[in-house]
A and B are shown apart, each in its own frame.
Chain A
Amino acid sequence: MLAAIGVASVDALFAPIPAGLRARSFALPDGTSEQELLRQMKQLAGTDRPVTGFIGGGYYDHYIPAVVDHLSGRAEFYTAYTPYQPECSQGTLQALFEYQTAICRLTGMEVSNASLYDGGTALAEAAMMALRVTGRNRLVIDGSVNPFSREIVRTYLTNLGVEIVEIPARDCLADRPALTAALTDLTAAVILQNPNFFGSVEDLGDIALTAHANGALLIASVYPISLGLVKSPGAMGADIVVGDGQSLGNPLSFGGPSFGFIATTKKYIRNLPGRIIGETVDKNGRRGFVLTLQAREQHIKRHKATSNICSNQSLCALRGMIFLASVGKEGLVDLARLNRDKAEYAKGLLAKVKGVRLLNTANTFNEFTLVLPKDAAEVAERLLDKGVAAGVPLGAYYQGMDNCLVVTVTEKRTRDEIDALAKELEGAL
């Protein structure tokens, strides 16, 4: 090969790099065998201690059907890249078209892109999209939206001169009078989450009407599993719907990768960020799928693109699609019900523990907020010591809520585990 190139050594190929710019250090460990690597990684993973989790915070411990790993692990999906050449990428393209369809049907919206990074960044992208659509520069965000997501929105918009008004929740619900009062003719969108961070489920329809009357959009962040039961955000009048797809067949994996979804109405499709797959025909009239509306994207529009996003989270979105197809139409209803049944059982039991009361006055899905007779962080730490992650204490995220604990119950928690939680809680108080 060197002879074909016409150089004497591999070193000669690095000649364009001036001598003064060569690496000053490269102090890395020696390489290792596959067997030794596995041993080392097992040892590392082994230092994590298992807990029984009643925690959510945007990531949920749901069962992943075996087919998800097997099918998404097909090397033809796994080791391909962005489907720039549609003829040899119809597998990825069709699967993502099916995914977009599933997201539209789940959320009750008309169009979806092929995924974003995660739920929090999807919310930030939705906020920026609303600013573009309306040409306004003010956002009203409900305080019961996930605090991490709110922080991502704030971070994304730091340098753009956008005013963000946060309206604290009232009784774990969106404070309607305060939200309405915050709307001005500069408001681009009202941002809500359903179920919200405290677990409450509500109909956002009236807020959508108020927002629309002021020329603002309604952005709703949703938990996809809840949509097996809960009225879709589309039916509530949302203009942009986002959420995190982790609960759809993606492992917890210490926080990633998952995917974010974003769906909207047809009229805003050109303002969507990221890849979109469209149906078309080939030169012989056969149905096929392509990346479409690429004129919005960075590789064409550069600094005028709707977003800087390049790759999406294709494989995680594929896992989401396979998950939804495996659970299926009626199955998702049953799965959502199973989650709610277990959460309602836990709610009843825990609220009966002496000194504990339920904070939510409204309905909940699979999360709810307890008020403990003492500091929830202290109690949570004591329970964690016994291997139970009892919930997320709210003191770190909400002023004056030091005694509050958000408890999450998915279908993976058994009645015995819930009973044990109630007992441990009683003991810790």
Chain B
Amino acid sequence: MKLIYEKSVKGRRGLKLPAGDVPRAADLPTDLLREKPAGLPEVSEMDLVRHYTNLSRRNFSVDTNFYPLGSCTMKYNAKIIENTSALFAGSHPMTPLLPGGEAFTQGSLALLHGMGELLTEITGMDEVSCQPLAGAHGEMTGIMLIAAYHRAKGNRKKYVIVPDSSHGTNPASAAMVGYEIITIPSAPYGDMDLDAFRAAMNNEVAAVMMTCPNTLGLFNPHIKEICDIAHEHDALMYYDGANLNAILGKVRPGDVGFDVIHVNLHKTFGTPHGGGGPGSGPVGVKKALIPFLPTPRVIRKSDGAFALEKVNSRSIGRMANFFGNFGVMAKAYAYILMLGREGLIEVSEQAVLNANYMMAQLKDHFDLPYDKSCMHECVFSASRQLKHGVHAIDIAKYLIDRGYHPPTVYFPLNVKEAIMIEPTETESKETMDAFIAVMIEAAEMAEKNPEALHEAPLTMPVSRLDETKAAREQNVCFGPW
């Protein structure tokens, strides 16, 4: 499809602007003026609508396709939450920062405060800051809180421990806060190797970052022991909430011994993924870390009014322009209110049931490196298919031809030819059965007709793009103009 720039016709316009109701001002002096207008598209509204409508049709999405992308929790996003978040669209974030302004934004502040309280109860922490703008941003905020905690105590800490199955964001976030990383290998049973962890633990470790259940979909039975060992060395336990969808109402990280947690609202709490954001990554902490939370902090005064604590000398400071991705929070808040206590428990039960069903139905056809009950996702390996020259990516491309968004492939890194399937709770048995049938078909084709899998996908506008060329030529902007 042509680019919108290639559809431009000189002088063509989309939006009609209002006529000015004030006199024309004198021009800016020439040395401050642009030489020529920026080369933006010149299209009619009809051209514009057709262009992006047709572009959208070149996407798979949750609303059009089953999307079992492991670790991303691609559940259905209820339409009503769009309507509810739109109610707050006109609220200016500077208003509560004006003198007397908090009184004008009691609704928005109440929502933020309420969101924090709901997440506090869900995770078993003592307070939640909604400021972080995405999961990785929450991780960074959390590690900064941990650094502030250690600094205040006069602790000299240098390292952050992560398991080798962790999301890449974990070590990257810790490195951005200045820590060195110690990576612990996974044991044959699929969890962080407890002996290796014990051996690596020392008094210079600031934090241990864990995802539980981990990226293999396994709940670590030694998690309490790990927390205890870390605490003996005054290292804090960080909980990566990426997989929280598995344990709602079953386990609360705060009860287990975690000190800091981030939550991905766009995963567990049903807000749309938007093609890669916006996310939202609230951070929850135990009491000892509350003084360090980012400012401005939403508080409730003794008279019941909501207010902002703007300055706090012990706070790590400000992590975002304002109070976080409020629009995303408004959706997650609505999601939690709509489902309620029982609904959220059912979310995790159904998510775990669906993943185990998927695992049971496919394990005769694909290698299952860790053959035990999983939580919300299961990780297969295409190593059996590899004997016929078929890689995980070939199976992924075949699924596209059959109308399925592929599972996550080649992650986690500690599983060869990984195929990570997370059906989520919102998919029916019928949808999963149809997907399972196609997966089995792919496994059979790998043996009988591997070439056909190498050819896939055949039904898409493009097939097997040359990524090396893209990286070499670095053509990231259309030109010349």
User: What residue of chain B has the Cβ atom nearest to residue A309's Cβ?
Assistant: B136
Contact A23 B133 (CB under 8 A): no
A329 adjacent to B37 (CB under 8 Å): yes
CB < 8 Å: which of B111, B221, B251, B476 contacts A269? B476
Q: Can you list, as one digit per residue, whether each of B325-338 has a CB less than 8 Å from chain A (1) or not (0)?
A: 11110100010111
Q: List the B residue with the shortest CB-CB distance to A4.
A: B360
A106-B40, A257-B325 are known contacts. Are A310 and B349 too (CB-CB below 8 A)?
Answer: no
- Surface stretch bound by A, among B165-173, B192-200, B439-447: B165-173
B304 at the interface (CB under 8 A from A): no
The 0/1 profile, CB within 8 Å of A marked 1, for residues 377-391 of chain B is 000000000000000
Chain A, residues 140-176, CB within 8 Å of chain B (1/0): the string is 0000000011011011101111000000000000000
A-B contact pairs, 17 of them (CB 8 A): A5-B360, A25-B124, A57-B93, A67-B15, A75-B63, A83-B275, A88-B65, A90-B462, A91-B275, A101-B477, A230-B32, A253-B91, A254-B92, A278-B474, A314-B278, A328-B42, A414-B21
B471 touches A298 (CB 8 A): no
- Contact assessment for B250 and A22 in the assembled complex, using a CB-CB cutoff below 8 Å: yes
Among A95, A308, A389, point to the contact of B169 (Cβ < 8 A): A308
Within 8 A of B (CB), among A33-48: 33-34, 37-38, 40-42, 44-48
A315 to B52, CA, bound (A): 13
Interface size bracket, A side: 35 or more
What total of chain B residues lie within 8 Å of the partner, measured CB to CB? 199
Contacts of B133 in A (CB 8 A): 117-118, 121, 256-257, 313
B residues less than 8 Å from A415 (CB atoms): 21-22
Chain B positions within 8 Å of A311 at CB level: 134-136, 266, 273, 276-279
**Contact flags B134-174 to A (C-beta < 8 A → 1, else 0):** 11110110001001000000000000000000011101111
The answer, among B11, B43, B172, B465, for a CB contact under 8 Å with A288, is B465
B99 contacts A by Cβ under 8 Å: yes
Determine whether A252 belongs to the interface, using a CB cutoff of 8 Å to chain B.
yes
A38 vs B61: C-alpha distance when bound (angstroms)? 26
Contact between chains at A121 and B320 (CB < 8 Å): yes
- Which residue of the partner chain, among B276, B326, B352, contacts A14 with CB atoms under 8 Å? B352
- In the complex, whether B301 has a CB less than 8 A from a CB of chain A is no
Please, which residue of chain A has its CB at the minimum distance from the CB of B348?
A14
Bound together, the chains give a CA A257 to CA B111 distance in angstroms of 15
Separation of A104 and B464 alpha carbons in the complex (Å)? 28
Expressed in whole angstroms, the minimum distance between the Cβ of B315 and any Cβ of chain A is 9
> Within the assembled complex, what's the spacing in Å between the Cα atoms of A73 and B85?
13
Interface stretch, picked from A180-188, A351-359, A374-382, A421-429, is A374-382
Determine if A202 and B32 form an interchain contact, defined as CB atoms under 8 angstroms apart. yes
Quick one: given A14-B352, A151-B318, are A80 and B15 in contact (CB under 8 Å)? no
Q: Which 5 A-B pairs have the closest CB atoms?
A: A31-B340, A255-B322, A315-B274, A255-B93, A257-B278
Contact assessment for A26 and B100 in the assembled complex, using a CB-CB cutoff below 8 Å:
no
Collect the chain B residues with CB atoms within 8 Å of residue A335's CB: 17
Q: A230-B34, A311-B276 are in contact. Are A47 and B94 (CB under 8 A)?
A: no
Contacts A105-B38, A290-B467 given: A341-B24 contact, CB under 8 Å? yes
Cross-chain contact A58 with B457 (CB below 8 angstroms): no
Contact A94-B1, Cβ < 8 Å, known A106-B38, A310-B135, A318-B275:
yes
- Quick one: which of B327-386 are within 8 Å of A by CB? 327-328, 330, 334, 336-345, 349, 352-354, 356-357, 359-361, 372-373, 375
Query: A213 on the interface (CB 8 Å rule)?
Result: no
Query: Which of B42, B74, B88, B328 contacts A81 (CB under 8 A)?
Result: B74
CB distance from B265 to the nearest CB of A (A): 11
For residue B204, give the distance in angstroms from its CB to the closest CB of chain A.
Answer: 15
A209 an interface residue at 8 Å Cβ cutoff?
no
> A217 an interface residue at 8 Å Cβ cutoff?
no
Partner of B17, one of A38, A159, A331: A331
Question: Which residue of chain B has the shortest Cβ distance to A227 in the bound complex?
Answer: B38
Contact B249 A10 (CB under 8 A): no
Other A-B contacts than A227-B38, A393-B99, 16 sampled, CB-CB below 8 A, are A4-B360, A28-B118, A30-B342, A45-B88, A48-B91, A48-B106, A76-B60, A155-B316, A155-B318, A286-B461, A310-B135, A330-B37, A342-B22, A380-B100, A384-B98, A389-B95
B431 at the interface (CB under 8 A from A): no
Q: Is A1 among interface residues, defined by CB-CB distance under 8 A? A: yes
- From B176-184, B230-238, B282-290, the one touching the partner chain is B176-184
Contact between chains at B470 and A118 (CB < 8 Å)? no
Mask: chain B, 286-297; 1 = CB below 8 Å from A; 0 = not: 000000001000
- Closest chain A residue to B132, Cβ basis: A117
Against B, the Cβ 8 Å flags (1 = close, 0 = not) of A14-25 are 111110111111
Could you mark each residue 39-52 of chain B with 1 if its beta carbon is under 8 Å from any beta carbon of chain A, else 0?
Answer: 11111010011011
Given contacts A332-B37, A363-B28, contact A88 B400 (CB under 8 A): yes
Q: Which of B89, B345, B396 has the most CB of A within 10 A?
A: B89
* Cα of A318 to Cα of B52 in the assembled complex, Å: 10
Asked if B98 contacts A304 (CB within 8 A), the reply is no
Inside 8 A of B461's CB, which chain A residues have their CB?
87, 90, 286, 288
Interfacial chain B residues near A290, Cβ < 8 Å = 465, 467, 470
- Are A155 and B462 within 8 A (Cβ)? no
Q: A227-B34, A330-B11 are in contact. Are A377 and B124 (CB under 8 A)?
A: no
- Chain B: which residue is nearest A15 at the CB level? B373
Residue with the highest number of chain A CB atoms closer than 10 Å, among B3, B112, B275: B275
A207 adjacent to chain B (CB < 8 Å): no
Cα–Cα, bound, A68→B181 (Å): 43
Residues of A within 8 A of B8 (CB): 329
B72 at the interface (CB under 8 A from A): yes
Instruction: List chain A residues, Cβ under 8 A from B460.
Output: 87-88, 90
Other-chain contact of B466, A77, A89, A283 (Cβ < 8 Å): A283
Mark out the residues of chain A between 51 and 101 whose CB falls within 8 Å of any chain B CB in the assembled complex: 51, 53, 55-59, 61, 65, 67, 70-71, 73-92, 94-98, 100-101
For residue B405, which residues in chain A have a CB less than 8 angstroms away from its CB? 85, 88
Find out whether the CB atom of A44 lies under 8 angstroms from the CB atom of B110. yes
Q: Which residues of A contact B397 (CB under 8 A)?
A: 85, 87
CB-CB under 8 A from A212, the residues of chain B are: none
A133 at the interface (CB under 8 A from B): no
Contact with B along A272-307 (1 / 0, CB 8 A): 000111111111101111101101011111111101
The distance in angstroms between the C-alpha atoms of A235 and B32, with both chains bound, is: 10
Verify B169–A71 contact, CB threshold 8 A. Answer: no
* In the complex, B13 has a CB within 8 A of chain A: yes
A residues less than 8 Å from B21 (CB atoms): 414-415
Encoded as 1 (CB less than 8 Å from any A CB) or 0, chain B from 53 to 74 comes to 1011111111111010100101
Closest A residue to B341 using CB positions: A28
Interface: A29 (CB within 8 A)? yes
A192–B56 Cα gap in the complex (Å)?
38
Cα distance, A301 to B173, chains bound together (Å): 12
Which residues of chain A come closer than 8 Å to B361, judged between CB atoms?
A: 4
Q: Which of B48, B53, B224, B256 contacts A74 (CB 8 A)?
A: B53
A119 at the interface (CB under 8 A from B): yes
Most central of A32, A149, A335 by chain B CB within 10 Å: A32
Residues in B with CB closer than 8 Å to A284 are 463
Q: Bound state CA distance, A37 and B466, in angstroms?
A: 48
A77 x B462 contact (CB < 8 A): no
Residue contact A329 to B41, C-beta cutoff 8 Å = yes
- What is the CB-to-nearest-CB distance from B156 to chain A, in angstroms, rounded to a whole number? 13
Question: B1's closest neighbor in chain A, by CB?
Answer: A94
The yes or no answer to B448 lying at the interface (CB within 8 A) is: no
Inter-subunit contact A313/B278 (CB<8 Å): yes
Known contacts A80-B273, A159-B178, A278-B470; decide if A232 and B34 are in contact (CB<8 Å). yes
Cα–Cα, bound, A231→B30 (Å): 9
Please pick, from A24, A325, A343, the residue contacting B43 in the complex, using a CB distance under 8 A.
A325
| Whole-angstrom distance between the Cβ of A164 and the nearest chain B Cβ | 12
Chain A contacts for B450, CB-based, 8 A:
none
**A385 to B277 alpha-carbon distance, docked (Å):** 37
Residues of A near B97 (CB, < 8 A) are 57, 392, 396
B188 interfacial contact with A, CB 8 Å: no
